[in-house]
Amino acid sequence: MWWRRVVGRMEECENSGAEPEALAPGSPAAELDLTRLSFAYQGLLEIPYNIIFEQRDTLEILDLSYNLLDDPALLGELERLSTLILDCNNYSAHVKFPYIPNLTTLWINKNKIRNLPIIVDEIRRKFPNIKLLSMMNNEAAPSYFNGGSLTQYIDYRQYVISQIPSLHVLDDTEVQETEREHARKTYRVQGTREGSKKREKLRHGTTAAHHFTTLS
C-alpha cells in the first residue's frame, strides 16, 4: 500500500545506515524507463539539472530524497512532472516552488518546515492539481512522528484540507468527505473573521493546541 511506503521511508530517514532503495542515475535498469529518475541518497547540495533536463520531455516521477537540497526553482521546466519526492532534505516553509500544473503528488517529509500557513499557501498556488501531499515529521505537521498531540494533529489536517480542496490524501491517510466538510466549516473562506483568527493561531502558536512557529 502507498501509505506503508510513506511510513517506511520516514523510518529510513531516522536510520542513517539505511541502504538506498532507489536506482542510481545511469544504471541500466534506470535507463529503461525515461519517465522516472532518481537521485536519492546522493548527498547532493544542488539539483543536477543538466542530467534531469535530458529527460524533460518524458520525465513524470523525480526522486530527490535523502540529499541536502533547498532550491527547486528550475523544476518548472519539467512540464510532464506528476510526482516529486523531496523527503529528508533542507527545505523550509519559505521554499519557492516553480509552477507545475501537472504535479499531483508531493512528498516533502522530514524537512525543516515550521510555518504551516506559508508552506500550504505555496503548495496551493504552485501545484493547483495536487492530490497527494505528505509532510510528515516536519515541525509544522504535528503527529506521533514528532511528539504532536491528537488535537494538534487534527487541527493540522483540518487546516491543510480546507486550504487545498483538491487533496485526496494527506500524509498517510485518505481525506474523507466528512473530514473535508468539517474542515471547511472550521477554516472557512480566506478572509472571513473566524477563519482569520484560526489562521493567526496557527501562524503565531497562541494556543496550547498549536505549537507552530513563524521561524523559517
Domain ranges of the chain: 2-204
Alpha-carbon separation of residue 139 from 9, 80, 95 (angstroms): 17, 31, 15
What is the pLDDT averaged over residues 27-46?
81
- In angstroms, the CA 3 to CA 152 distance is 21
Confidence of residue 23 (pLDDT cuts 50, 70, 90): very low
Contacts of 177 (CB under 8 A, 6+ apart): none
CATH topology classification for 2-204: 3.80.10
pTM for the complete prediction? 0.77
Whether the CA torsion 162, 117, 166, 133 is positive or negative: it is negative
What is the pLDDT averaged over residues 127-144?
96
Q: Could you say which DSSP state residue 112 is in?
A: B
Whether the CA torsion 56, 61, 67, 73 is positive or negative: it is positive
> What integer pLDDT is reported at residue 212 of this predicted model?
37
Lowest pLDDT segment from 6-10, 124-128, 148-152, 185-189: 6-10
> What integer pLDDT is reported at residue 29 of this predicted model?
44
Contacts of 33 (CB under 8 A, 6+ apart): none
- In angstroms, the CA 103 to CA 7 distance is 22
Neighbours of 2 (CB within 10 A): 11
> What integer pLDDT is reported at residue 9 of this predicted model?
54
Q: Could you say which DSSP state residue 85 is in?
A: E
Nearest alpha-carbon partner for 86 in 103, 114, 66, 116:
66
Residue 121 pLDDT greater than 60, yes or no = yes
Contacts of 124 (CB under 8 A, 6+ apart): 130, 163, 164
Confidence of residue 3 (pLDDT cuts 50, 70, 90): very low
Q: Are 49 and 72 in contact (CB under 8 A)?
A: no
Residue 10 pLDDT greater than 60, yes or no = no
